[in-house]
C-alpha cells in the first residue's frame, strides 16, 4: 500500500511539473505565409510572457508549431497528430477560412476547444460546432455592414458613392464578404442554404453594382487588365477583396498605374506594414476594415493581471524589434482567452474550458487586446462591429466608429487622386 501511494504521489508530481502543451498548425510557407509568420509571433509572445510570470497552474507552457504550407490536407494531418500523437493539452487555430473549415471538423470530432484566430466564413459557423470560438469581430458575410455604415455616418448624402465595382479573389473569406455586399445565398458544400443575404448591403444603401469580377485563388497575375476594367466601369466606390496583403499591393498598384480614380477605395486586406511598404504613396486614402488598431485602449488580462493593448505593443516591439499589426494581435488574443479559461477552471480539460467560454457574458467576458468577447451559440462574437481604418500620411489611422474611443481621425474623402 505504501509503495502504491508513493507511486501515485510521484506520478502526480511528474504531471504537475510536465509542461502544458499547446499546438497550432500555421501556414509558414505557401500563399498565406506572411500572415502565418505573424500568427506565430503572436502565439510565441503570449506563451513567453506567461512563462516569464511563472507559467499556468504551476506548469510551464510548451508551444508546438507545424508548417501546413498553406495546404488543407497538411493542416488536417497536423491537427490529427497534435491531438493523437503529441497529446496536446490545448490546440489553437490556424490562419484563413480555407484551412479553418476542414480543421474545424477535426477539432469537433475530438471535443477539443477550437479558438479560431482567422476563419470568418459563415459556412464554418453554420455547422453546429459546439467547441469553436471566433476571436475576431464577426463573420465575413457581415463585414460589409460596417463599410456602408461608415459611409452613411461620415459622408454627406449628396457626396456618397452611387456606383460600385466589387473585385475579389476566389477565396473563402473574400467570397464571404462579397456575398454580403452583393446579396447572395450562402450554401454548404454539400448543399443547403446557410443564409440568404438579399438584397445585399450595397443595394440596401442605394449603391448600384456596375462591375463584379473574381480572380483565381492562386496564380493570378493579370492585374493591369483587371484595373483597366475597373477604370472603364467608372465606379465611384471600388471594393477589393483580396486573400492576402500581397494581392492588396498588386491591386492598388495596378489601379494607380492605369489612373483609375474612384471616390473611395476599400480593401479587405491592407493593415499590414508589408502593404504600406509595397503600395507606397498609392496607399494614401485607402480604407480597410480591421480587428485591431494600435491606438485602441482595450484592457485585457494576462497571467492573472491587467494587460492593455499598449502593454502588448511594447512587449511585441521589445521582442521582435518592429511594431505589431492585426495579424499578430489576433493570435495573441486567442492565447489570452485560452489562458483565462484555464486559469478560471483550474484545468486543461477541454470540456470544462468549452463550458466556461460558452458561459461568458457581456458583463463577464474574456478580456483581450482585441477587446471583450462573449459568443453566441454558433461561436460568433456578440456585439462586435469591425473597426474601420484608413492610410493617411503613411500611418494607418482609426476612423470609425467615431464615438467609442479617443484619437479617431477624420475620414479622408474623396480619396486623393493618383
Q: 389-410, pLDDT tens digit by residue?
A: 999 999 999 999 988 788 899 9
- Answer yes or no: are the C-beta atoms of 183 and 198 closer than 8 Å: yes
Q: Which set of grid coordinates corresponds to residue 357?
A: 467560454
Name the packing angle between helices 245-257 and 223-233 (round to 10°): 60
| Average pLDDT of the residues in 300-324 | 97
Q: What is the pLDDT of residue 315?
A: 98
Helix residue ranges per DSSP H, 325-366: 326-345, 350-358
> pLDDT tens digits, residue range 44-53?
999 999 999 9
Supply the mean pLDDT for the chain. Answer: 93
- Give exposure, 326-346, as e/b (b: 16+ Cβ within 10 Å): bbbbbbbbbbbbbbbbbbebe
> pLDDT tens digits, residue range 279-307?
999 999 999 999 998 888 899 999 999 99
> pLDDT tens digits, residue range 27-84?
999 989 999 999 999 999 999 999 999 999 999 999 999 999 999 999 999 999 999 9
Residue 8 has pLDDT above 60, yes or no: no
| Average pLDDT of the residues in 325-348 | 97
Q: How confident is the model at residue 309 (pLDDT cuts 50, 70, 90)?
A: very high
Q: Distance (Å, rounded) from C-alpha 333 to C-alpha 39?
A: 11
Q: Distance (Å, rounded) from C-alpha 105 to C-alpha 126?
A: 12
Taking residue 4's Cβ as centre, other Cβ atoms within 10 Å add up to 8
> pLDDT tens digits, residue range 132-179?
999 999 899 999 999 999 999 999 999 999 999 999 999 888 999 999
Q: What residues form DSSP beta bridges with 371? A: 368
Number of Cα atoms under 13 Å in the Cβ half of residue 263: 15
pTM above 0.85, yes or no: yes
The answer as to CATH 3.40.50.2300 being correct for domain 10-137+294-373 is: yes
Burial bucket for residue 145 (CB in 10 Å: 0-12, 13-18, 19+): middle
User: 316, 330, 306: which is closest to 387 by C-alpha?
Assistant: 330
Q: Note the Cα 100 to chain centre separation in Å.
A: 11
Percentage of the chain beyond pLDDT 70 is 95
Q: What is the pLDDT of residue 189?
A: 63
Taking residue 259's Cβ as centre, other Cβ atoms within 10 Å add up to 10
Q: What residues form DSSP beta bridges with 133? A: 115
- Answer yes or no: are the C-beta atoms of 167 and 251 closer than 8 Å: yes
Domain range annotation of the chain: 10-137+294-373, 141-290+386-400
> Largest Cα–Cα distance in the chain?
86
* Sign of the CA dihedral with 142 first, then 143, 144, and 147 last: positive
Residue 5 has pLDDT above 60, yes or no: no
Backbone angles phi, psi at 187, to 5 degrees: -120, 150
On the question of a common fold for 10-137+294-373 and 141-290+386-400, the answer reads: yes
**Residue with the three cell numbers 460568433:** 380
Give the chain's end-to-end CA distance (angstroms, integer): 83
Q: What is the pLDDT of residue 172?
A: 84
User: 50, 129, 25, 138: which is closest to 338 by C-alpha?
Assistant: 50
CATH of 141-290+386-400, one of 3.30.365.10, 3.40.50.2300, 3.40.50.12780, 1.10.3720.10: 3.40.50.2300
Q: What residues form DSSP beta bridges with 307? A: 300
Residue 15 has pLDDT above 70, yes or no: no
Amino acid at each position: 500500500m505504501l509503495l502504491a501511494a508513493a507511486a501515485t504521489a510521484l506520478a502526480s508530481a511528474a504531471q504537475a511539473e510536465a509542461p502544458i502543451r499547446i499546438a497550432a498548425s500555421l501556414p509558414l510557407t505557401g500563399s498565406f505565409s506572411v500572415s502565418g509568420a505573424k500568427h506565430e509571433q503572436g502565439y510565441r509572445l503570449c506563451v513567453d510572457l506567461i512563462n516569464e510570470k511563472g507559467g499556468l497552474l504551476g506548469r510551464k507552457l510548451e508551444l508546438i508549431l507545424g508548417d501546413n504550407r498553406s495546404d488543407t490536407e497538411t493542416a488536417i494531418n497536423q491537427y490529427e497528430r497534435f491531438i493523437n500523437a503529441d497529446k496536446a493539452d490545448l490546440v489553437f487555430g490556424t490562419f484563413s477560412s480555407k484551412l479553418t473549415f476542414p480543421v474545424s471538423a477535426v477539432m469537433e470530432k475530438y471535443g477539443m476547444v477550437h479558438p479560431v484566430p482567422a476563419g470568418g466564413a459563415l459556412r464554418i459557423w453554420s455547422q453546429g460546432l459546439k467547441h469553436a470560438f471566433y476571436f475576431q469581430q464577426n463573420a465575413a458575410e457581415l463585414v460589409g455592414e460596417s463599410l456602408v455604415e461608415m459611409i452613411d455616418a461620415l459622408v454627406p448624402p449628396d457626396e456618397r458613392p452611387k456606383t460600385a465595382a466589387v473585385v475579389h479573389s476566389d477565396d473563402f473569406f473574400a467570397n464571404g464578404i462579397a456575398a454580403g455586399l452583393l446579396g447572395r445565398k450562402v450554401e454548404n458544400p454539400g448543399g443547403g442554404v446557410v443564409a440568404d443575404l438579399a438584397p445585399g448591403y450595397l443595394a440596401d444603401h442605394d449603391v448600384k453594382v456596375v462591375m463584379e469580377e473574381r480572380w483565381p485563388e492562386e496564380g493570378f497575375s493579370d492585374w493591369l487588365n483587371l484595373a483597366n476594367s475597373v477604370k472603364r466601369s467608372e465606379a465611384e466606390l471600388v471594393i477589393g477583396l483580396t486573400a492576402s496583403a500581397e494581392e492588396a499591393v498588386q491591386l492598388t498598384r495596378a489601379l494607380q498605374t492605369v489612373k483609375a480614380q474612384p471616390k473611395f477605395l476599400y480593401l479587405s486586406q491592407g493593415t499590414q506594414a508589408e502593404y504600406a511598404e509595397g503600395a507606397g504613396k498609392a496607399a494614401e486614402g485607402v480604407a480597410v476594415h480591421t480587428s485591431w488598431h494600435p491606438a485602441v485602449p482595450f484592457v485585457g488580462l494576462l497571467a492573472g493581471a491587467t494587460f492593455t493593448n499598449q502593454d502588448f505593443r511594447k512587449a511585441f516591439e521589445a521582442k521582435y524589434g518592429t511594431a505589431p499589426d492585426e495579424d499578430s494581435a489576433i493570435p495573441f488574443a486567442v492565447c489570452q482567452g485560452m489562458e483565462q479559461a484555464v486559469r478560471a477552471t483550474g484545468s486543461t480539460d477541454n470540456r470544462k474550458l468549452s463550458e466556461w467560454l460558452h458561459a461568458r457574458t457581456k458583463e463577464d467576458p474574456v478580456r483581450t487586446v482585441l477587446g471583450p468577447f462573449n459568443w453566441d451559440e454558433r461561436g460568433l462574437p456578440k456585439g462586435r462591429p469591425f473597426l474601420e481604418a484608413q492610410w493617411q500620411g503613411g500611418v494607418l489611422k482609426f476612423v470609425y466608429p467615431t464615438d467609442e474611443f479617443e484619437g479617431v481621425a477624420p475620414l479622408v474623402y474623396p480619396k486623393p487622386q493618383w
